[in-house]
Amino acid sequence: MKNLVIYYSHTGENYFGGGLKNISKGNTEVVAEQIAKATGADLFKVETVNTYPNGYYACCDVAKDELHANARPKLKKELKSLDGYDNIFIGYPIWWGTLPMGMFTQLEKLDFHGKNVFPFSTHEGSGLGNSMGDIKKLCAGANVGSGLPIQGSTVYASEAKVADWAKKCVK
Ligand SMILES: Cc1cc2nc3c(=O)[nH]c(=O)nc-3n(C[C@H](O)[C@H](O)[C@H](O)COP(=O)(O)O)c2cc1C
């Protein structure tokens, strides 16, 4: 069985339960790497051509406009095919209750028929938000397992829980 993690993660200023902090590695990226370590999965990072503002509130404003416009931001590179992969982990920060729009751009380009999909989010209170419904639409034809929400401020402390979940997913 071959495993893949497709994820988006944002660096810069972020909100951590009560305060703003600059991070050089995004929370979702930390979890994506934990999953890769636990399952031997390949990693594919979704990156938009236009970068988001570093400031948390400015980034929130741009992300909200994109969500309302149902935008499909251009990506630096697109994954063209899932051929050869059986299990696909899909990771993202919750932005305004769902996945960042760049993930919509990428996921819509792929054929998920017959694939096993395991969503995971990092968040500051919304859990998986509305993302499961959006993923079921974006990944038509996939068997979508139950998702794993991890609070962003706890990603380093959550490695054992993440590894345990990921290993069960691919068993
Ligand atoms: C633009 C933006 C919108 C966000 N919206 C939500 C939200 O609706 N619900 C929530 O719980 N957290 C929200 N957050 C917090 C992030 O989901 C959380 O900090 C996440 O761990 C960031 O992951 P990353 O470092 O991989 O980008 C938002 C953060 C940003 C930057």
- Indicate which atom in ligand 1 lies nearest the CA of residue 126: 11
Tell me which DSSP letter residue 127 carries: T
pLDDT of 132-159, one tens digit each? 999 999 999 999 999 999 999 999 999 9
Confidence of residue 19 (pLDDT cuts 50, 70, 90): confident
**Helix 27-39 to helix 159-170 angle, to the nearest 10 degrees?**
50
Confidence of residue 17 (pLDDT cuts 50, 70, 90): confident
- Indicate which atom in ligand 1 lies nearest the CA of residue 123: 17
106: CA distance to ligand 1 center in Å? Answer: 19
- In the numeric block, the tokens 């962003």 are attached to 152
Topology adopted by domain 3-170: Rossmann fold (3.40.50)
- Measured CA to CA, the distance from residue 171 to residue 54 in angstroms comes to 39
- Measured CA to CA, the distance from residue 102 to residue 45 in angstroms comes to 11
pLDDT of 91-104, one tens digit each? 999 999 999 999 99
146: CA distance to ligand 1 center in Å? Answer: 20
- Measured CA to CA, the distance from residue 140 to residue 111 in angstroms comes to 8
Both ends of the chain: CA-CA distance in Å? 9
Q: Where are the chain's structural domains?
A: 3-170
- Measured CA to CA, the distance from residue 169 to residue 125 in angstroms comes to 24
pLDDT of 44-69, one tens digit each? 999 999 999 999 999 999 999 999 99
